[in-house]
Amino acid sequence: MRVVLKYGGSSVATIEKIKAIAEYIVNLKKTKYNEIIVVASAMGKTTNALIAMAKEISDSPNQRELDSLLSTGEQQTVSLLSMAINSLGQKAVSLTGYQANVKTVGVHTKSKIKNIDTEKIEEYLKDNNVVIVAGFQGINDHGDITTLGRGGSDTSAVALAASLKCECRIYTDVEGIYSVDPRLYKNAKFLDKISYEEMMEMANLGAGVMETRAVEIGKKYNIPIFVGKTLSETGGTWIMDMNDVLEDKLVTGISITKEIIVTTLSNINYSSEKIAKIFTIINEVGLNINMISQNVSNDNKAKISFSCVEGEKYLLDQAIERIKMELPCIELGYNDNLSMISIVGVGMINNSGVSGKFFSALSRAGINFYQVTTSEISVSCSIERKDINKAVEVVAEEFNL
């Protein structure tokens, strides 16, 4: 019986925590799983510290070199964890993304896993090793080290579980998944189960517990994903097929993105080719956007608005620079004092009136809302950042979350 275990940065933030995890893994191998693969993140805030150092060198560091630098954080963790396990008498080996044959495609700092050749991992498992793989990283067809972006270690773990055909257990510093971030709403309900679809939507809309691509891989290959607290024997949430989870409720949870920028491009002489070119450029620089709106006036002038997270402003700047070269007459506007609040639930599929309840709750609390976007199982809108706590409270009460 085999399993993939993933430990986040807060779980491996100190040598003491790494030693405690090593003891837990050795005991787990003796009592429950004969084959264990571990995926580890960088210790604590190591990745942030590496980014800060890079920014001291350049405001726009070379992305290839940045990937090479960032990958060292996870390499540090897996080596230390392997040493700790070996010191307890259990064989262990650490592997970088390259050594684990994690093949990637896409742009630097936001690459995606193409495939994983598990032959080497299987050999180490047969030799009774605990195999510890550096998360968040891989290697592209050019032989360059790449990283997978925010939450990339989750993606590494689920992709390995899919390739090795076993369950995946994600360990972090929280008990599992809640209907609302408990730091924003103290009465948030704990979720024993949540569907892949709901978790993907919540993650995509700002919930930080899981990464969207990780859940997407889990759904594609039907890999059950457990999310729980490091070293805890209780609690935890299973992410699984919708048919195994669906309950009689409209909304499962609320997601928040606290800091977004809404960019407005106006004075565009409308044509489908020009609009397509704008979004092609946005895609090419790797900027993730949402809440898109477009208006075309009677004089055929188009106005486009879209939002992105504040942390990707450097990509937004790159996109705008290229768009201005293609369309020099455009006018720009920014609103960087906004947040996004979203409700998510598969119960929306067969029920109408959810949007009305959502917006009515905000309105009764005197909260203005602006850009709106919807999917089959979610409704999102932007609000002023100062209103986010109040918005979470009134919406959570409205939907009994």
pLDDT along the chain (401 residues), means of 10: 94 96 96 96 92 91 94 96 97 96 92 94 97 96 92 93 95 88 87 89 78 90 92 86 66 89 89 89 88 84 89 90 89 89 84 86 92 87 92 92 87
Query: Within 10 A of 71 (CB to CB), how many other CB atoms are there?
Result: 24
Q: What is the pLDDT of residue 75?
A: 96
Please tell me the distance from the alpha carbon of residue 4 to that of residue 37, in angstroms, as a whole number: 5
Which conformational region is residue 39 in: left (phi greater than 0), alpha (psi within -120 to 50 degrees), or beta? beta
Distance of CA 234 to the CA centre of its chain: 24
- Mapped to the 3 state alphabet, what secondary structure does the chain carry? CEEEEEECCCCCCCHHHHHHHHHHHHHHHHHCCCEEEEEECCCCCHHHHHHHHHHHHCCCCCHHHHHHHHHHHHHHHHHHHHHHHHHCCCCEEEECCCCCCEEEECCCCCCEEEEECCHHHHHHHHCCCEEEEECCEEECCCCCEEECCCCHHHHHHHHHHHHHCCEEEEEECCCCEECCCCCCCCCCCEECEEEHHHHHHHHHCCCCCCCHHHHHHHHHCCCCEEEEECCCCCCCEEEECHHHCCCCCCCCEEEEEEEEEEEEEEEEECCHHHHHHHHHHHHHCCCCCEEEEEEECCCCEEEEEEEEEHHHHHHHHHHHHHHHHHCCCCEEEEEEEEEEEEEECHHHHHCCCHHHHHHHHHHHCCCCEEEEEEECCEEEEEEEHHHHHHHHHHHHHHCCC
Q: pTM of the full predicted structure?
A: 0.81
Q: What is the pLDDT of residue 358?
A: 92
Please tell me the distance from the alpha carbon of residue 316 to that of residue 321, in angstroms, as a whole number: 9
Cβ(9)–Cβ(45) under 8 Å? yes
| CA neighbor of 339 nearest in space, from 225, 163, 206, 170 | 206
Q: What is the pLDDT of residue 250?
A: 80
Q: What is the pLDDT of residue 111?
A: 92
Q: What is the pLDDT of residue 246?
A: 56
Please tell me the distance from the alpha carbon of residue 47 to that of residue 125, in angstroms, as a whole number: 29
Q: What is the pLDDT of residue 244?
A: 61
Please tell me the distance from the alpha carbon of residue 359 to that of residue 114, in angstroms, as a whole number: 41
Which part of the chain is CATH 3.40.1160.10?
Answer: 2-173
Q: What is the pLDDT of residue 119?
A: 95
| CA neighbor of 133 nearest in space, from 107, 114, 152 | 152
- As a CATH number, domain 254-398 is 3.30.2130.10
Which part of the chain is CATH 3.30.2130.10?
Answer: 254-398
Q: What is the pLDDT of residue 245?
A: 58
Q: What is the pLDDT of residue 311?
A: 85
HSE at residue 322, side-chain half, CA atoms within 13 A, is 16
Give the architecture (CATH level 2) of 2-173: 3-Layer(aba) Sandwich (3.40)
Q: What is the pLDDT of residue 243?
A: 67
- Work out whether strand 2-7 and strand 167-172 pair parallel, antiparallel, or are unpaired: parallel
